[in-house]
Amino acid sequence: MKSKLSTLILGITLLGGGLSAVGATAASAEVEPRACAPFANTPYKSGSNLIGVGGHSGCSTSSTAKVMLKKDNSGWPDQIMASSSAKGSKVSLTEIAASPASGEYYIEALTVGGSKTQSSRFSWK
């Protein structure tokens, strides 16, 4: 009886380990980047200009990306300082605002499919 119980416990342990491995594989597949994902880098200062880069990558077909450099306006719609769009499977666009007023700025990137992302805020003083 003792050896049958040990075999049963060993079999359940191995089966449980196999299920854990399958679960780990499924979980790691969920963190892979999405197809045609937008990206938005935090804007930075270059002389008297504020520069930001955004776009999309990983698109299987040519798709349109729109990138906007925005000023964060609390309680009001955010002001678009510069924007552009381009079509491609991998798009990187640079937006420039010359001598902007003090405030918080960020990049927002959108894809035609509706995906949107925003960068961290950059404080221009």
Burial of 2 (0-12, 13-18, 19+ CB in 10 A): exposed
Distance separating alpha carbons of residues 15 and 110, to the nearest angstrom: 45
When pLDDT is averaged across residues 92-114 and rounded to a whole number, the result is 93
pLDDT of residue 108 exceeding 60, the answer is yes
CB-CB contact of 97 with 82 (8 Å):
yes
pLDDT digits (tens, 9 = 90+) for 5-63: 443 333 333 334 443 333 333 333 333 345 789 999 999 999 999 999 999 998 888 89
**CA–CA gap between residue 37 and residue 57 (Å, rounded):** 6
CA–CA distance, 53 with 119 (Å, rounded to integer): 9
pLDDT at 70: 96
Residues 67-90 have pLDDT tens digits of 999 999 988 999 999 999 999 999
Q: What confidence category does residue 112 fall into, taking pLDDT thresholds of 50, 70 and 90?
A: confident
pLDDT tops 60 at residue 123: yes
pLDDT of residue 23: 39
Do 107 and 119 contact (CB within 8 A), yes or no?
A: yes
Mean pLDDT confidence for 81-101 = 94
pLDDT at 62: 87
Which of 111 and 23 is assigned the larger pLDDT?
A: 111
The Cβ of residue 42 has, within 10 Å, a number of other Cβ atoms equal to 14
Distance, first Cα to last Cα, the chain: 79
